[in-house]
Amino acid sequence: MVQLIGFKKIKTAIFISGRGSNLKSLIKFSKTKSSPISIDLIISNNHNAKGLKYANIFKIKKKIFRFKDKTLAEKKILLEIRKYKINLICLAGFMEILSKKFIKNFKGKILNIHPSLLPKYKGLNTHQKAINNKESYSGCTVHFVNHKLDSGKIILQNKVKITKKDTPKSLAKKILVQEHKIYPKAILKVFNL
């Protein structure tokens, strides 16, 4: 593993809507010597997101914005992003689609993790869809974000075997283990580390 000595960490914001297990795994990664990022801000569209507890546990600033008025929410988020000098946004179970304008106005990189082998099974209920289609494999993908759902350039994927016994729940669980592995790896890849 590379040790980054004298390297200024890339200020990162993680966007979540729910449980936050990828957030937790990225926070742990950010604290390792080989991590190029520091996590300085957590953004959520959901006051009840369970993952917000990690903001308290790890003493990271959190901000919640309702997306009822998306234009306004995005404007406010951009202000926060500038205030904290954020250069990288990692979407981690963030269930809103960011507008073209937001993506254009944010000058850094935006990544997302999705629980399927993109371009297959964009959107919701990915595990059910993969099982229904009798796929032998599913997996997860980290990709750059553009204004189309789950469609930006792919950075990294990990495959998971689907067995006859798998249910959407068991498959989600297996894939999540891989998600926690590939998100940090994808970040290292994006910054050529």
Q: How far apart are CA 70 and CA 102, in angstroms?
A: 10
Stretch 55-94: interaction string toward ligand GAR, x if CB under 6 A? -------------------------------------xx-
Instruction: Examine residue 190 and tell whether it contacts ligand GAR (CB under 6 A).
Output: no
Q: Cβ(12)–Cβ(89) under 8 Å?
A: yes
Sign of CA dihedral 34, 36, 42, 45: negative
Three-state secondary-structure class, residue 81:
helix
Please pick, from the candidates 27, 60, 110, 115, the single residue that binds ligand GAR as defined by CB under 6 A: 115
Position with the least CB separation from ligand GAR? 93
Instruction: Examine residue 147 and tell whether it contacts ligand GAR (CB under 6 A).
Output: no
Instruction: Examine residue 21 and tell whether it contacts ligand GAR (CB under 6 A).
Output: yes
Q: Using alpha carbons, select from 147, 136, 132, 138 the residue that is nearest to residue 171.
A: 138
In this structure, how many other beta carbons lie within 10 angstroms of the beta carbon of residue 71?
A: 11
114 assigned to active site:
yes
> Tokens 């742990």 — which residue?
28
Of the pair 10, 113, the CB lying nearest ligand GAR is at: 113
The contact set with ligand GAR (CB under 6 A) reads: 16, 18-22, 51, 92-93, 113-115, 150, 176, 179
Q: So which residues are the catalytic ones?
A: 114
